[in-house]
């Protein structure tokens, strides 16, 4: 489903007896040992003639994590199906597991044409009702995302293997059952999930659109529409202006392309903002990375339309925090351009001058992300004097070598902030893993003729990229997130359909939520400058 349809799904918190629910499917968790929350097993057995126990005892369904079983109720309960959802071993029932199983359930329900679901997956763990209900809604809505705008016929728009026909229905309602005491938390969880999912759908769309559509100007236009709806201040700087501003590294990358570049600036400043200096988010918005003169091989080059995922995450996060009214002053910057080979493109060996005056020898034109970030970071720091800088970028293939698809590479100059980001990631199911930024790595990016060069040789590619960026944050507290391994999935995962993941929005939205409570950010005086 698309963004509009997703926004129309009715999501409600319910108290009372789930067994009286009138949805198409009632989702009930089952652990590996056959236990179910509350007295569901006994009561379902009572209503369905012992069928749940028979299924479990026969091993037809084992409660294995992420396994589902649709049990028709034959009119014996108001719901048409009881959907048994495997939770695995009891100790491991985390919100992330609930997010995944809710995604798997939602897709299975879609292939059966069920239009309404009621979930009881919060019921047994009311203490964590907020996170669990958020996970249920996120898992459900994120799993149903589809990008089929370029399919011409309705038939092609259907999920593979799904029968076409007039009765084909999208999910219309989702109910979340909890105790009366937990209801307030459930409502909050639903609200957060909705804002995060809305931002993620937007980011996924931008990442899945081909690069001939999602150009820097299209992204700027989209951002401006979304900002207008929410009172976020929007400014877009064009090529001429960027040259005038002295953003020589960004302009350098852009000059190989016919597609006009942009620096997109978003500012969310609610009147009740807790901080006196803003948080600056910077996202690499490279709308197509061919590698430039240092051209990439043809295989999988089409996925480089997703090289703007960092910028998409910044936009999605800005919309989410505005929708939630998080009381924090946040500025987002999205340097947007293509990286193309041409007669006007950067050549290996060219020297560029970044906004902060540092000269950069371009050894490899494919290491372009750090060039555009260098300018966005140093310009943003100068203009906004932020209390904290966070950048997100599909920056290095090397981060996939190091961490695969299961963790964001986290680097920076402020251990406290990095630790906080890692902790938030763990909680919300967008994990990071820290890599070191030892002094020694800086040797690798010394240039014989300029202040710095844009690549650091074979070893530690993710680290030398971050070392390069640190030259442009002017000692401000800074966290760098390398999302090259996590921004894109090659095959469907429970709540990540093949394609752009929309990574980083859940992590950043929650992290900014915690920062709204951060006392350090209320102080007007500057924090110590950190060393590189």
**Partner from Mg ion, ligand BES, Zn ion, none binding residue 84, C-beta < 5-8 Å depending on class:** none
Q: How many CA atoms lie within 13 A of 451 on its CB side?
A: 12
Q: Coil, helix or strand for 128?
A: helix
β-strands 488-489, 499-500 pairing: antiparallel
CB of 466 to ligand BES, least distance (A): 12
CB of 146 to ligand BES, least distance (A): 23
Q: If binding is defined by CB under 5 A, does position 482 make contact with Mg ion? A: no
**How far apart, in Å, are the Cα atoms of 190 and each of 96, 106, 146, 183, 324?**
15, 16, 21, 11, 11
Alpha-carbon gap, residue 297 to 262, rounded angstroms: 27
Question: In this chain, which residue has its C-beta nearest to Mg ion?
Answer: 366
Nearby residues of 521 by Cβ (< 8 Å), 6 or more positions away: 274, 275, 276, 277, 279, 328, 387, 388, 515
Q: If binding is defined by CB under 5 A, does position 482 make contact with Zn ion? A: no
Would you say 310 or 386 has its CB closer to Zn ion? 310
Contact pick of 289, 361, 391, 482 for Mg ion (by CB under 5 A): 289
CB of 238 to Zn ion, least distance (A): 22
Would you say 366 or 391 has its CB closer to Mg ion? 366
CB of 525 to Zn ion, least distance (A): 38
Determine which one of 41, 43, 255, 296 is catalytic. Answer: 296
Alpha-carbon gap, residue 479 to 150, rounded angstroms: 37
CB of 245 to Zn ion, least distance (A): 22
Contact pick of 128, 205, 366, 482 for Mg ion (by CB under 5 A): 366
**Partner from Zn ion, ligand BES, Mg ion, none binding residue 397, C-beta < 5-8 Å depending on class:** ligand BES
Question: How many binding residues for Mg ion (CB under 5 A)?
Answer: 3
Would you say 308 or 390 has its CB closer to Zn ion? 308
- Per-residue x/- track, 311-350, Zn ion (CB under 5 A): ----------------------------------------
Would you say 229 or 498 has its CB closer to ligand BES? 498
Choose among 502, 32, 15: nearest CA to 306: 502
Q: Which residue has the tokens 């020589």?
A: 248
Q: If binding is defined by CB under 5 A, does position 391 make contact with Zn ion? A: no
**Partner from Mg ion, ligand BES, Zn ion, none binding residue 287, C-beta < 5-8 Å depending on class:** none
Q: Coil, helix or strand for 164?
A: coil
**Partner from Zn ion, Mg ion, ligand BES, none binding residue 461, C-beta < 5-8 Å depending on class:** ligand BES
**How far apart, in Å, are the Cα atoms of 313 and each of 252, 319, 394, 483?**
24, 10, 11, 10
**Partner from Mg ion, ligand BES, Zn ion, none binding residue 128, C-beta < 5-8 Å depending on class:** none
CB of 484 to Zn ion, least distance (A): 8
Of the candidate spans 13-21, 57-65, 284-292, 375-383, the one that interacts with Mg ion by CB under 5 A turns out to be: 284-292
Reading the block at residue 458, the tokens are: 């074979």
For the chain, the C-alpha Rg in angstroms (whole number) is 24
**How far apart, in Å, are the Cα atoms of 507 and each of 53, 204, 302, 486?**
40, 15, 27, 13
Would you say 138 or 368 has its CB closer to ligand BES? 368
296 is annotated as an active-site residue? yes
CB of 259 to Mg ion, least distance (A): 16
Instruction: Identify residues 251-310 at the interface with Zn ion (CB under 5 A).
Output: 286, 289, 307
**Partner from Mg ion, Zn ion, ligand BES, none binding residue 278, C-beta < 5-8 Å depending on class:** none
**Partner from ligand BES, Mg ion, Zn ion, none binding residue 521, C-beta < 5-8 Å depending on class:** none
Assess contact for 340 and 292: CB atoms under 8 A.
Answer: yes
Q: Which residue has the tokens 């929350």?
A: 37
Would you say 116 or 294 has its CB closer to ligand BES? 294
Reading the block at residue 429, the tokens are: 């199911």
H/E stretch holding 6 reads helix 3-8
Give 361-403 as a DSSP string. E-S-TT--HHHHHHHHHHHHHHHH--SEEEEEE---THHHHHH
Question: How many binding residues for Zn ion (CB under 5 A)?
Answer: 4
Alpha-carbon gap, residue 417 to 167, rounded angstroms: 51
Q: If binding is defined by CB under 5 A, does position 369 make contact with Zn ion? A: yes
Would you say 289 or 391 has its CB closer to Zn ion? 289
Choose among 173, 169, 165, 82: nearest CA to 120: 82
Would you say 82 or 501 has its CB closer to ligand BES? 501
What sign has the CA pseudo-torsion 441, 432, 234, 520? negative
The conformation of residue 449, written as its DSSP 8-state character, comes to: S
230 is annotated as an active-site residue? no
**Partner from ligand BES, Mg ion, Zn ion, none binding residue 293, C-beta < 5-8 Å depending on class:** none
Reading the block at residue 419, the tokens are: 């630790």
Q: Coil, helix or strand for 7?
A: helix
Judged on CB neighbours under 10 Å (0-12, 13-18, 19+), 90 is exposed
Would you say 120 or 394 has its CB closer to ligand BES? 394
Determine which one of 370, 417, 476, 496 is catalytic. Answer: 370
CB of 306 to ligand BES, least distance (A): 7
**Partner from Zn ion, ligand BES, Mg ion, none binding residue 455, C-beta < 5-8 Å depending on class:** ligand BES
Applying CB under 6 A, the residues found at the interface with ligand BES are 289, 307, 364, 366-369, 394-398, 455, 461, 484
Would you say 339 or 424 has its CB closer to ligand BES? 339
Nearby residues of 438 by Cβ (< 8 Å), 6 or more positions away: none
Reading the block at residue 166, the tokens are: 């007039």
Choose among 95, 101, 82: nearest CA to 27: 82
Residues labelled catalytic: 296, 370
Residues lying near Mg ion in the complex (CB under 5 A): 289, 366, 368
Chain residues that interact with Zn ion, rule: CB under 5 A? 286, 289, 307, 369
């Amino acid at each position: 489903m698309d963004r509009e349809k997703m926004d129309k799904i009715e999501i409600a918190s319910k108290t009372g007896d789930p067994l009286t629910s009138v949805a198409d499917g009632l989702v009930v968790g089952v652990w590996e040992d056959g236990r179910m929350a509350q007295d569901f097993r006994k009561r379902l057995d009572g209503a369905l003639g012992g069928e749940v126990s028979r299924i479990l005892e026969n091993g037809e369904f084992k409660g294995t994590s992420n396994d589902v079983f649709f049990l028709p109720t034959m009119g014996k309960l108001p719901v048409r199906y009881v959907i048994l959802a495997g939770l695995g071993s009891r100790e491991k029932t985390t919100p992330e597991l609930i997010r995944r199983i809710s995604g798997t359930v939602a897709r299975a329900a879609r292939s059966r044409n069920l239009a309404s679901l009621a979930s009881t997956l919060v019921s047994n763990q009311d203490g964590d009702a907020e996170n669990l209900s958020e996970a249920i809604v996120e898992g459900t809505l994120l799993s149903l995302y589809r990008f089929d705008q370029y399919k011409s016929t309705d038939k092609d728009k259907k999920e593979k293997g799904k029968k076409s026909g007039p009765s084909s229905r999208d999910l219309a309602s989702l109910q979340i059952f909890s105790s009366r005491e937990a209801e307030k938390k459930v409502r909050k969880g639903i609200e957060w999930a909705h804002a995060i999912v809305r931002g993620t759908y937007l980011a996924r769309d931008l990442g899945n659109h081909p690069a001939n559509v999602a150009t820097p100007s299209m992204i700027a236009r989209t951002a401006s529409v979304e900002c207008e709806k929410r009172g976020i201040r929007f400014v877009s700087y064009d090529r001429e202006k960027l040259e005038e501003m002295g953003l020589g590294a960004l302009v350098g990358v852009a000059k190989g392309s016919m597609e006009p570049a942009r620096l997109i600036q978003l500012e969310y400043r609610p009147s009740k903002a807790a901080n006196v200096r803003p948080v600056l988010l910077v996202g690499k918005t490279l709308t197509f990375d061919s590698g430039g003169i240092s051209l990439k091989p043809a295989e999988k080059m089409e996925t480089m339309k997703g090289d703007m995922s960092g910028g998409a995450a910044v936009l999605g996060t800005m919309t989410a925090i505005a929708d939630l009214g998080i009381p924090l002053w946040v500025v987002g910057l999205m340097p947007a351009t293509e990286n193309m080979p041409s007669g006007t493109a950067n050549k290996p060996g060219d020297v560029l001058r970044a906004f902060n005056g540092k000269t950069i020898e371009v050894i490899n034109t494919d290491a372009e992300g750090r060039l555009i970030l260098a300018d966005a970071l140093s310009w943003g720091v100068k203009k906004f004097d932020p209390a904290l800088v966070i950048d997100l970028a599909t920056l290095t293939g090397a981060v996939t070598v190091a961490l695969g698809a299961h963790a964001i590479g986290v680097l920076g100059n402020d251990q406290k902030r990095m630790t906080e980001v890692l902790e938030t990631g763990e909680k919300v199911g967008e994990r990071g893993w820290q890599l070191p930024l030892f002094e020694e790595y800086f040797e690798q990016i010394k240039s014989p003729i300029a202040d710095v060069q844009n690549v650091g040789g074979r070893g530690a590619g993710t680290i030398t990229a971050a070392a390069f960026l640190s030259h442009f944050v002017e000692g401000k507290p800074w966290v760098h997130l390398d999302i090259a391994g996590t921004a894109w999935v090659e095959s469907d995962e429970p709540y990540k359909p093949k394609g752009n993941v929309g990574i980083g929005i859940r992590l950043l939205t929650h992290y900014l939520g915690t920062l709204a409570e951060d006392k350090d950010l209320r102080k007007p005086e500057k924090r110590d400058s950190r060393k590189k």
